Amino acid sequence: MSHAEVERVLHYPMTPDAPLEPPAEWAKLRQECPVARVTLPSGDEATLLTRYEDVKQVLADPRFTRQLTADDAARISDSDTGVFSSEMASVIPDSGEGHLRWRRLVGRWFTAKRMAALRPGIEAMAEQLIDDMVERGQPADLKASLGFPLPVYVICDLLGVPAADRDRFAYWSDTLLNLTRYTQADMDAALGEFVQYMAAHVAAKRAEPGEDLLSELAKSADEGGLTDAELIATGMGLLVAGHETTANMIGKMISMLLADRSRWERLLADPSLVRPAVEEALRFDANSGFGLPRYIPEEAEVAGTVLPRGTTVVCSMAAANRDESVFDGADEMDLGRSPNPHLAFGSGAHSCMGQALARTELQVVLEVLLRKLPTLDLAVPAQELRRVDGLVVGGLSEVPVRW
Amino acid sequence: MKVRVDEDKCCGAGQCVLLAPEVFDQREDDGIVILLDAEPPEHVHATVREAAAVCPAAAIELSEGA
Ligand code: HEM
Ligand code: SF4
Per residue in A80-122, pLDDT (tens digit) is 444 444 444 455 666 677 777 788 788 878 888 888 889 999 9
pLDDT band per the 50, 70, 90 thresholds, residue B56: confident
User: What's CA A56's distance to the chain center, in Å?
Assistant: 17
Q: Is the CB of A292 under 6 A from ligand 1?
A: yes
Looking at every residue in chain B, the average pLDDT score rounds to 88
User: Which ligand 1 atom is nearest residue A59's CA?
Assistant: 15
Give the residue from B26, B32, B47, B60 with the most A CB atoms within 10 Å of its CB, the best one to mutate: B26
A327 in Cβ contact with A282 (< 8 Å): no
User: What's CA A195's distance to the chain center, in Å?
Assistant: 23
Q: Is the CB of A345 under 6 A from ligand 1?
A: yes
A317 CA distance to ligand 2 middle (Å): 20
CA distance A342 to A322: 9
Which residue stretches of A243-344 are H helix?
244-259, 261-269, 274-284, 317-320
The pLDDT assigned to A222 comes to 62
Q: Is the CB of B11 under 6 A from ligand 2?
A: yes
CA distance A344 to A351: 9
Please state which of the four CATH numbers 2.60.40.420, 1.10.630.10, 3.40.50.1000, 3.30.70.260 is assigned to the domain occupying A3-402.
1.10.630.10
CA distance A114 to A157: 13
- ipTM here: 0.72
A233 in Cβ contact with A91 (< 8 Å): yes
The pLDDT assigned to A84 comes to 44
**Domain segments of chain B as ranges:** 2-63
For residue A10, the distance in angstroms to the closest alpha carbon of chain B comes to 30
**What single-letter DSSP state applies at residue A145?**
I
The pLDDT assigned to A304 comes to 92
CA distance A217 to B37: 31
User: What residues of chain A score a pLDDT lower than 50?
Assistant: 1-6, 80-89
Q: Do B11 and A349 touch (CB under 8 A)?
A: yes
The pLDDT assigned to A90 comes to 55
Helix (H), strand (E) at residue B61:
strand B60-63
Q: Do A353 and B57 touch (CB under 8 A)?
A: no
The pLDDT assigned to A348 comes to 81
What residues of chain A, 72 to 111, have a C-beta less than 8 Å from chain B? Answer: 103-105, 107-111
Residues with Cβ within 8 Å of residue B14, at least 6 apart in sequence: A110, A111, A112, A115, A355, A356, B26, B31
For residue A108, the distance in angstroms to the closest alpha carbon of chain B comes to 4
Strands A10-11 and A305-307 turn out to be: unpaired
User: Which ligand 1 atom is nearest residue A358's CA?
Assistant: 27
Please state which of the four CATH numbers 1.10.1530.10, 3.30.70.20, 3.40.630.30, 2.40.160.40 is assigned to the domain occupying B2-63.
3.30.70.20
A64 in Cβ contact with A296 (< 8 Å): yes
The pLDDT assigned to A175 comes to 82
**What single-letter DSSP state applies at residue A146?**
I
- Kindly identify which residue of chain B lies nearest to residue A351, measuring between CA atoms: B56
The pLDDT assigned to A8 comes to 63
The pLDDT assigned to A87 comes to 43
The pLDDT assigned to A105 comes to 80
